[in-house]
Chain A
Amino acid sequence: HHLDLPPDLPLIYALREHLHMTGTKYGCGEGQCGACTVLLDGRPVRSCRTPVSQASGKQITTIEGLAQNGKLNPVQQAFLEQEAFQCGYCTSGMIMSTVGLLNSNSKPSDGDIVRFMNGNMCRCGTYGRALAAIRQAAREWKAERS
């Protein structure tokens, strides 16, 4: 996509308003809740605190880009199977953070998961299921890449 935007515009607005990609959610605007998480060259960032100038020329991956040819990514599949959500508003960000975690650490311990994911909030309180989903995704992540 080619967009001409003010350099300090938060990336989330470019995605949601200019590209109409609404899978990325606004939750706080201060990088505290993680609902707006996207990947820049495979690393998770909070798109509400990332100016578009920082994303320019980089590969941006959003929730819309995870499934390939209709097949869910292992993280999406694990969140779905564990039903690791209630209202689902945090889910895009949870999944993108998990992909970011597994990109950098494909064998995370529970401690690794909790530390990495502590910036992703779920007000419905589905952390237990999210933890189970992330463990499942890590197992399948390894299997898929070996």
Chain B
Amino acid sequence: MNRETIAAADLERTQHENIERARYAFELDRRQFFKLLGGGVLVCACAGSVVAQESGRGGRAEHELPREISAWLHVGESGVVTVYTGKAEMGQNIRTSLAQQVAEELRVAVSAISMVMGDTDLTPWDMGTFGSRTTPTMGPRLREVASTARDVLVTMAAERWHADAATLVTSDGKVSDPKTKHSLTYGELTRGQQITKLLPEDPSLTPPAEWRVAGTPVAKVDGKAFVTGEHRYAADMIRSGMIYGKVLRPTAFNATLVSLDTSAAEKIPGVKLVRDGNFIGAAGPDQHTAEQAIKAMRAQWKAPAQPSNKELFDYLRKNPDTSDEGFRHDAGSVSQKLPASAKTLAATYTLQYIAHAPLEPRAAVAEWEGEKLTVWTGSQRPFAVADQLAEELRLSRQQVRVIIPDTGSAYGGKHTGECAVEAARLAKSAGKPVRLVWTREEEFTWAYFRPAGVIDVKASVGADGKVLTWEHDNYNSGPAAINTPYDVPNQRIEFHPVNSPLRQGSYRGLAAPANFFARESAMDELAHLAAMDPLAFRLKNTNDPRLQAVLQAAAEKFGWGSQKSTPQRGFGIAGGTEKGSFVANCVEIEIPRPGAPVRIARVVEAFDCGAVVNPNGLRNQIEGAITQAIGGAMFEAIHFENGKILNPRFSDYRVPRFRDLPEIEVVLVNRKDVPSAGAGETPNMGLAPAVANAVFAATGARLRSLPLLPQGTVPKGV
């Protein structure tokens, strides 16, 4: 990687890690407070240590991943292989794909593997499950661990049999000697003892071309638990004596409490009220009672005037975040004199805030045993949530355990632990375990959003169809996939950080779908200026064989060029690369008659993420990413005004449904010669520009704002 791509990757990680957490600043009970800290002197020490942790992205050094095999893997006496990873499963199917990779290297059946995931007391520290990092980082790590463990098991057998280890074979959880026919199961060899070896520097791994378990379409390992309702999400946890919580929410963002009357709420039997600073909550014997208590409170809030959608894009240009230097990439000179035959484009693309809206809203069950706090919650970052709990509840990190039951999806939206903190605070006062489940309205309002953005593109194209200059200014949405994959000699690409009017954070793919939308729309506009076919134009402007391959694979499957677009039927194409994966989409839209709603009829996606670990899971991810991306492309938008979300309900915030489902065809470009890259994000990036390009091809209307068609129909006069 060159310096700039490292800088972009680092910025991207910063975007993932530094989502602004809601602050509670609990006072707790003063007596309790001093007991916790052991006296006044220690207050300073404690505050200091909190600050030190806070200041520390440099503190990452303290989280060196363990090299002990036993931290990651244990072979039980019965032969069950338990694998420990701090990654979280939330529908992306890594419980299965990681188990496959361990099974491959250890030569055991997938069914012999039990994955312990996202438990801060049991699993090695992990930064979080985001950024398509599980497959390229945790996958190889666990393969190395399993391969090393297999070496240890073979050595143990060789010692026992006084045989040459090189002559022994492993399969189906056994070591065998083909000469003597000796055979021992892994369980018989270890008898449940830990494998004490450290990971070697360069363990041997089975190359993907020789995979027999990895690389195959293994079914989701615990699929049955989902069709029977047996799987327990965080909100399904039941603890002895558990009660139910509810939090009083301010009437607007950035509001402060002016007055509070809880006299009516106090009269409701069985309710425990908690007031700590601006945090006001109730816990009761059931959800309904806790809700009644909150409803009975009379609160007055005062909030400052705040912006709305109306001035959003102007606001983003005018409110730079000067504390963040952003990102800039230059090549050649964009200010040089262009040949007279060159054609130029200057266009602005915008996108609204959208919500992740995971179907499982934020939920947590918190339980105190003395000074030890255990919280079950749905999150992508168990260890970050544990840090947040320790900080807010003034505990040492060792006093906090976070357990992540396989989560009801996240899409980048569950990086922080507010619900966990609230449940823990309520449980602290109630003296009982508390379950807290955010309502859909809370989820839409008090979570964070996919950033809105403004992207200006200025570009020029020569008479030969080669792009000459490329300028790309992104305000607020972010630097992910901001660099062009096309060969342009003169470039200036900048990301301008902004003080966002709404709390924002990562969303599946971060800013890549935004930057793809602007770039691939603009490439289409340039193709039009150059009077070239959009596919031929892209192929002419890139020498990247993997990008060319996915564009051609998608085009071939789609039958690109076999029909011309008409006012009733438009064809669009888009593609690109991000996080080591390559994607191309061809889209067909239909408009049965002038002024009728636009419908996406057909989507072909070609996808290359290196060696495919599980083609079944991968296809599911790609089909799902395309379907979800229809929302952001076509109609999803958060409406806000003066610190309030105006559409915090599924009846007002439209998401893709059955009737929006197009025909979807996936072409997997399986590159066994290339290390596996993640695939949870990149499949969602090409859809929106391909749709916009198809609408242009059909109607001549160039839609440059996401969502493209909030009313369903192409607006007149675009």
Shortest Cβ gap from A76 to chain B (Å): 4
Q: Interface size for chain A: under 10, 10 to 19, 20 to 34, or 35 or more residues?
A: 35 or more
Binary CB contact string for chain B from 228 to 255 against chain A (1 if under 8 A, 0 otherwise): 1111110110100000100000000000
> CA A85 – CA B93 in complex, angstroms?
10
Q: Are A124 and B288 in contact (CB under 8 A)?
A: no
Contact (A122, B229) CB under 8 Å given A9-B288, A20-B238, A28-B440: no
State which of A17, A33, A72 has its C-beta within 8 Å of the C-beta of B650: A33
Determine if B3 is an interface residue (Cβ-Cβ < 8 Å). no
Determine if B550 is an interface residue (Cβ-Cβ < 8 Å). no
CB within 8 Å of B: which A33-65 residues: 33, 35, 62-64
Binary CB contact string for chain A from 17 to 40 against chain B (1 if under 8 A, 0 otherwise): 110101111111110110100000
> CA A4 – CA B655 in complex, angstroms?
38
Determine if B219 is an interface residue (Cβ-Cβ < 8 Å). yes
Report A-chain residues with C-beta under 8 Å of the C-beta of B219.
Answer: 80, 83
Determine if B656 is an interface residue (Cβ-Cβ < 8 Å). yes
Contact (A128, B627) CB under 8 Å given A27-B359, A72-B228, A87-B407: yes
State which of A92, A118, A123, A124 has its C-beta within 8 Å of the C-beta of B229: A92
Q: Are B620 and A126 in contact (CB under 8 A)?
A: yes
> CA A118 – CA B654 in complex, angstroms?
12
> CA A23 – CA B235 in complex, angstroms?
11
> CA A29 – CA B359 in complex, angstroms?
12
Contact (A121, B657) CB under 8 Å given A6-B288, A62-B229, A83-B620: yes
Q: Are B238 and A88 in contact (CB under 8 A)?
A: no
Q: Interface size for chain B: under 10, 10 to 19, 20 to 34, or 35 or more residues?
A: 35 or more
Among A35, A90, A124, chain B packs the most CB atoms within 10 A around the CB of A124
Q: Are B623 and A128 in contact (CB under 8 A)?
A: yes
Contact (A72, B227) CB under 8 Å given A86-B620, A121-B655: yes
State which of B359, B411, B621, B661 has its C-beta within 8 Å of the C-beta of A128: B661
Shortest Cβ gap from A102 to chain B (Å): 15
Q: Are A80 and B661 in contact (CB under 8 A)?
A: no
Q: Are B359 and A90 in contact (CB under 8 A)?
A: yes
Number of A-B contacts (CB under 8 A): 161
Report B-chain residues with C-beta under 8 Å of the C-beta of A138.
Answer: none
Report A-chain residues with C-beta under 8 Å of the C-beta of B224.
Answer: 72, 80
Shortest Cβ gap from B292 to chain A (Å): 10
CB within 8 Å of A: which B600-639 residues: 616, 620-621, 623-628
Contact (A80, B650) CB under 8 Å given A89-B408, A114-B658: no
State which of B361, B406, B407 has its C-beta within 8 Å of the C-beta of A26: B361
Binary CB contact string for chain B from 358 to 389 against chain A (1 if under 8 A, 0 otherwise): 11110000000000000000000000000000
Output the nearest chain A residue to B441 by Cβ-Cβ distance: A29
> CA A130 – CA B659 in complex, angstroms?
12
Report A-chain residues with C-beta under 8 Å of the C-beta of B408.
Answer: 25, 87-89
Report A-chain residues with C-beta under 8 Å of the C-beta of B288.
Answer: 6, 9, 13
Shortest Cβ gap from A113 to chain B (Å): 8
Output the nearest chain B residue to A115 by Cβ-Cβ distance: B659
> CA A13 – CA B407 in complex, angstroms?
21
Report B-chain residues with C-beta under 8 Å of the C-beta of A95.
Answer: 227
> CA A32 – CA B443 in complex, angstroms?
15
Q: Are B440 and A126 in contact (CB under 8 A)?
A: no
Report B-chain residues with C-beta under 8 Å of the C-beta of A86.
Answer: 91-93, 409, 620-621, 624
> CA A20 – CA B361 in complex, angstroms?
19
Contact (A127, B627) CB under 8 Å given A32-B650, A63-B229, A121-B359: yes
Shortest Cβ gap from A36 to chain B (Å): 11
State which of B232, B357, B360 has its C-beta within 8 Å of the C-beta of A22: B232
> CA A24 – CA B411 in complex, angstroms?
22
Contact (A88, B657) CB under 8 Å given A13-B287, A27-B440, A64-B228: no
State which of A62, A67, A83, A123 has its C-beta within 8 Å of the C-beta of B359: A123
Determine if B664 is an interface residue (Cβ-Cβ < 8 Å). yes
Determine if B649 is an interface residue (Cβ-Cβ < 8 Å). yes
Determine if B90 is an interface residue (Cβ-Cβ < 8 Å). yes
> CA A17 – CA B284 in complex, angstroms?
12
Shortest Cβ gap from B136 to chain A (Å): 20
Shortest Cβ gap from B312 to chain A (Å): 25
> CA A48 – CA B282 in complex, angstroms?
21
Shortest Cβ gap from A5 to chain B (Å): 9
Report B-chain residues with C-beta under 8 Å of the C-beta of A13.
Answer: 286-288
Output the nearest chain B residue to A77 by Cβ-Cβ distance: B227
23 A-B pairs whose Cβ atoms sit less than 8 Å apart in the complex: A13-B288, A16-B236, A23-B228, A30-B649, A32-B649, A33-B440, A66-B228, A79-B227, A83-B219, A87-B91, A87-B359, A87-B406, A89-B359, A90-B359, A118-B659, A119-B657, A124-B624, A124-B628, A125-B626, A126-B627, A127-B657, A130-B658, A131-B658
Chain B residues near A (Cβ < 8 Å): 90-93, 219-220, 223-233, 235-236, 238, 244, 286-288, 357-361, 406-409, 411, 437, 439-440, 616, 620-621, 623-628, 649-651, 655-659, 661, 664
Chain A residues near B (Cβ < 8 Å): 6, 9, 13, 16-18, 20, 22-30, 32-33, 35, 62-64, 66-67, 72, 76-77, 79-80, 83, 85-92, 95, 113-115, 117-131
